[in-house]
Amino acid sequence: MARSIVSEIKRDHIQKLIAGGQRVDGRNWDQFREISIQTHVVETAEGSSRVKIGNTEVIVGVKMTVGEPFSDTPNRGVLSTNAELIPMASPNFESGPPDENSIELARVVDRGIRESHMIDLDKLCIEPGKKVWINFVDIYVLDFDGNLFDACSLGAVAAIKSAIVPAAANGLGEDYPMPINCTPVSVTAVKIENSILIDPTLDEEKVAAARLTVTTDDNGDLRAMQKGLSGALTLEEVKNVIETSRRLGVEIRKLIG
């Protein structure tokens, strides 16, 4: 609790720097911290990744089991995304069932993947109306220094891309790569005073008035958006973030490979 109160001095310092076009760690307003993506990190998962953006680190696993489809989509595979903000990642995370933050996080990551049809769920039907592949995407935050939306999104996408459908173990023929249609990329910005900053650190998030996450696909089209925090954004600011997300999305997509 004590740690989440930002000192006035820190707040003033960040705002003063921003007014001069600078950030505490010397980045440009539209620059990401160092990103590292590793896949195939856990062999008990069908797909897995460990992603770092600066000091924020997440580990994501994809598990696939055979199960029943939803009644309104009898010929489609199922996607279920879960995020855990585990206490080791931050002094402010508590043990327990997912709170509103982990739920929002999971749902936004899920939306980006679902709305872009990243996983070709139609190809994951085994027996129409009876058996389909159920995909569990489980995200665990290991170290928290801001921008969980992008780290978790990136982790989920990398894990899904590297996943192998465990057909053999389920008596359904040979294993094959997860059917992928596209690679959605999310880019998050915060608004501090009148400035927009991409990929906020924890301190920047604490001082921010509003946050906007934009997920684009390989064509640069919008697939998901989420505005957060209790401040307001102008339409121009929103358009600026969208355009920046599109631009940076191209670079990040290359990193995922």
Partner 1 sequence: MNNENNTRELVLPGDVLDDGTMKPGAGTYVHDGKIFAAMLGIKSVKSNFVNVVPLGGRYIPAPGDLIIGKVIDIGPSNWLVDIYSPYPAPLHVNEVPWRVEFGDTSRYLGVGDTLLAKVLSVDETKRVQVTMKEQGLRKLQGGQIVEIAHSKVPRVIGKNGSMIQMIKTYTNCRIFIGQNGRIWMDGNMEDMVHAMQAIKMIDEGAQTLKLTERVKEFLESVYRKEE
Partner 2 sequence: MGGNSDMKLIDENGIRIDGRKVDELRPIKIEAGVLKSADGSAYVEIGKNKVLAAVYGPRECHPRHMQNPAKAIVQCKYNMISFSVSDRKRPGPDRRSVEISKLISEAMEHVVFTENYPRTSIDVYIEVLQANAGTRCAGLTAAAVALADAGIPMRDMVPAVAVGKVNDQVVLDLNKEEDNFGQADLPIAMIPRTGEILLLQMDGHLTQAEFDRAMELGVKACGEIYELQKDALRRRYAITNSGEVEDETKDEPREMNEEA
Task: Summarize the chain as % helix, strand, coil (round to 5).
Answer: 30, 30, 35
Nearest partner of 244 among 207, 212, 205, 202, judged by Cα: 212
Q: Which is nearer to partner 2, 120 or 143 (CB)?
A: 143
Q: Give the footprint of partner 2 on residues 32-71 (CB under 8 A).
A: 41-45, 48, 55, 57, 59, 61-63, 65
Please state the closest distance from residue 87 (CB atom) to partner 1, in A: 16
Which of partner 2, partner 1, none does residue 62 bind to, with CB < 5 to 8 Å depending on kind? partner 2
Please state the closest distance from residue 14 (CB atom) to partner 1, in A: 9
Q: Which is nearer to partner 1, 65 or 92 (CB)?
A: 92
Which of partner 1, partner 2, none does residue 200 bind to, with CB < 5 to 8 Å depending on kind? none
x/- contact string, 76-105, with partner 2 (CB under 8 A)? ------x-x-xxxxxx---x-x--------
Strands (DSSP E) contained in 68-145 are 78-85, 125-127, 131-143
Query: Over the Cα atoms of the chain, what is R_g?
Result: 19
Q: In what order do the strands lie in the sheet with 195-198?
A: 195-198, 185-192, 210-216, 222-228
Which of partner 2, partner 1, none does residue 235 bind to, with CB < 5 to 8 Å depending on kind? none
Enumerate binding residues for partner 1 (CB under 8 A): 1-3, 5-13, 16-17, 20
Distance in angstroms (rounded) separating the CA atoms of residues 172 and 35 = 37
**Using alpha carbons only, what angle is made at residue 37 by residues 34 and 38, rounded to the nearest 5 degrees?**
145
> Which DSSP symbol is given to 154?
H
Nearest partner of 85 among 40, 13, 151, 170, judged by Cα: 151
Please state the closest distance from residue 99 (CB atom) to partner 2, in A: 13
Nearest partner of 223 among 121, 115, 149, judged by Cα: 115
Please state the closest distance from residue 209 (CB atom) to partner 1, in A: 16
Binding site for partner 2 (CB under 8 A): 41-45, 48, 55, 57, 59, 61-63, 65, 82, 84, 86-91, 95, 97, 136, 138, 140, 142-145
